[in-house]
Structures are given as structure tokens and as C-alpha cells.
Homo-oligomer: A and B are copies of this chain.
């Protein structure tokens, strides 16, 4: 029975693919690739290419790079149309996301547009924030601490409210918002124990413990900041 798969390929290192992801990648007939996210497309494709079966059909879909809700909904519908047609022909297809498909991925728009028309299976992936913590050999959260994942495209007001009540934080979508992250960290005295992970998940990844300075110097799409209120013992 043909299925549609959403596959998380992890943060970048091909070794952080799960056994399940590699198995599914090797059996799918059709791979959907977001065309306009040129950077991400290249990365995700490079990670999974060695596992794909020979002669796999690549179908490009127009997923917008900018945050335009209507365009995302349209792209989801376009993808769903292709997936439904492929499934009817008995072909299994997949959409692949960096990290995990449930964390800030456009995959959700495809699932919604499919409305149960085909069988769907989602394969979770290693998140960038878990990979960043692992790289630094440090905990994200311990004991009764609350972990908050803060996307920097949220308003400063909402971010501030979240920082006020949480214990440990992972800041995502930082690119071109580095100064705002630095301001938030300073306000809550979180510079000391904060780290910036550059090129998180890749061979050239680097952990910077001088987080404020690094936020000013390292402007990169795959940058992530971890911080916490209470200093680690």
C-alpha cells in the first residue's frame, strides 16, 4: 500500500539520521523537494542522497522562503495534489525536513492539505536544539526545569513574557535577529551560561561560550543559542 512519509533528517550530520529514516528513504518512489528554499533544499538533499534508491523521481514544489501564510497554504495544496496522484498510481512519496518535521516545518501545511486522503506516516528527527546541547555536552533541562523553545520571529513582548517564567531556553530563527537575542539575554542575566552554536549539526559546527560577542560576529542561518537562568553547577 503506497503511503506518504514526512521524514526528519536531523540537523545536518548524515550520521544523525535514524535507522527508520534511512530505510524509508530507500523505499520511496517519489521525493518532493521545496524549490524556493534553495539553501535548505541543498542541505537536506545532500544528507539523504546516499540513501535514496536509484531512479527515484524528484518533484519540485514551490515552497516560499518568506513567511506568507497564503503562499504556504497554496504550496501545501500543490504538494497534496501531487502526493494524492502519486499514491493513486501506487507510488510512495516523501517530504523531507531538516531537524524534526513537527518543529517549525512547512510539512504541517502538506498534512493539513491532504485531509486524510492518503495514509501518512511521520518519522521524527533529531532537533537542532538537542544537537546543540549534545555538542556542548550540557543539559537543556534538568529536574523540574521548564524548557522553552523561543522562535525569534515572535514579538519581543511575547518573548519577554516567556523568558520571565521559564528556566532554560533555546532560541531559534536567529538569523538577522542577533541583536534582539543579545538584548533578551542581557535583560535576564543569561549571558554567563549562554552558548551560541554555529553551523549546528554540521562537521564545522562550533560552540561559542562568549555568547553576546558571538551574536555580534556570527551571522549565520544555522545558528542557535541555548541559555538558562540558573547557572549550571
- Whether A139 contacts B102 in the complex (CB less than 8 A), given A124-B131, A147-B149, A165-B164, comes out as yes
Interface residue stretch chosen among A13-21, A27-35, A179-187, A214-222: A13-21
Chain B, Cβ-Cβ closest to A109: B142
Give the copy number: 2
Q: Is the Cβ of A6 less than 8 Å from the Cβ of B137?
A: yes
Residues of B within 8 Å of A164, CB to CB, are: 165
Assess whether B162 is in contact with A151, with CB atoms less than 8 Å apart. Answer: no
Which B residue sits closest to A173, measured CB to CB? Answer: B144
- Cα A69 to Cα B125 in complex, Å, equals 32
Q: Which residues of B contact A191 (CB under 8 A)?
A: none
| A residues neighboring B (CB under 8 Å) | 6, 8, 10, 13-20, 22-23, 67, 69, 100-105, 107-108, 111-112, 120-127, 130-131, 133-135, 137-151, 153-155, 158-159, 161-162, 164-166, 232-233
